[in-house]
Amino acid sequence: MRLLKKLTVCCLIALIIQVAAYMQIFAIPRLYQEFSIEIVVDDITAAAEIIRSMDGQTLSASMFQHEAHSTADFVKAIAWEDINRVLAALRGLGNVHFESEHVVNMSDEVTDLQARLIANAQEIERLQDMLAASENLNVLIAVDARLSQTEWDRDWLLGRLNEINARTAFPYVNITLRSEVPLPPDETLSFGQRVANAFTTSASGFASAAASFTVFLARVMLPLVVLAVIALIVWRIVRRVLKKSLPTERIETQKEETPQEDDTNVDLWLKGFENEDEEGKS
């Protein structure tokens, strides 16, 4: 009975995928279309205001000032029916330096995502039934972990599908404006000016090196002080230990080196001394 149920589910999934693929042939293709255009203009501020006021949604806008030129970048989402008119208006702003069109058919990915979502929903339902029917703790833990992973996969598939829907709903236009700014004429410097510039550069380099060295000292000063204090404490402890142990060693060494007199020789010497004393009395 279980084998028959599994075969039925597999046949239904295969049938759904085939029907979806068949319907995709007659469906409207899901196209992601992106235009890029770079325009050289005289007044970049005025051109930027015109672009902001054009039809469509401005997704991002930024302006940069360089030494030789100024640039402004825009990303706009334009409705399909307005794209040609907007592109013609952009071309009229100045000299078109670069223009390109990039089209990606995302219909196959949409079909794959939809089929995976159907299979994912069936797996979630099966895991939920197993979770409700099982009483084994190990099985419950394994099924719950699998269910969490399957639900995370479902959320990712839905997010990717929504992203594709948003990208294919409107064509995107990447607009770059550039305004050439002439550089000031190159002036030949005199010898004194070059010497002054060299002195200024060298003083600035010395100040930067001194600042870096000071920062380095500030970083390593505390560890060096701590190491010096520890070394001083260890040296004093070792010195005290050596002072206490050296006198004892010297005394023991002197005792070992001093020859001990024989008791017999001492007695003989005392007897001789007494005999000499008696002879003197007599």
Q: Which domain holds residue 242?
A: 191-258
In this structure, are 158 and 233 located in the same domain? no
Whether the predicted model's global pTM rises above the 0.85 cut: no
Beta carbons of 30 and 110 less than 8 angstroms apart? yes
Residue-averaged pLDDT of the chain: 77
Which pLDDT score is estimated for 189? 62
Residue of 279, 23, 262, 63 lying closest to 178 (CA atoms): 63
In a domain, 219, yes or no: yes
In this structure, are 45 and 94 located in the same domain? yes
Question: Strand locations in 113-209, DSSP E?
Answer: 172-180
Please report where in the chains the tokens 């002080």 appear, as a residue: 225
Helix axes 107-133, 137-169, angle to 10 degrees: 160
Within its chain, how far is the Cα of 56 from the centroid? 36
Tens digit of each residue's pLDDT (9 = 90 or more) over 103-131: 888 888 888 999 999 999 999 999 888 88
Question: What does the alpha-carbon distance between residue 101 and residue 35 come to, in Å, rounded to a whole number?
Answer: 5
First to last CA, the chain: 145
More confident call, 17 vs 259: 17
In this structure, are 207 and 169 located in the same domain? no
In this structure, are 23 and 106 located in the same domain? yes
Lowest mean pLDDT segment, chosen from 125-129, 208-212, 269-273: 269-273
More confident call, 26 vs 275: 275
In a domain, 28, yes or no: yes
In this structure, are 119 and 201 located in the same domain? no
Tens digit of each residue's pLDDT (9 = 90 or more) over 5-31: 655 665 566 666 655 544 444 456 777
In a domain, 99, yes or no: yes
Domains in the chain, number: 2
In this structure, are 126 and 241 located in the same domain? no
In a domain, 24, yes or no: yes
Phi, psi of 188 (to 5 degrees): -80, 125
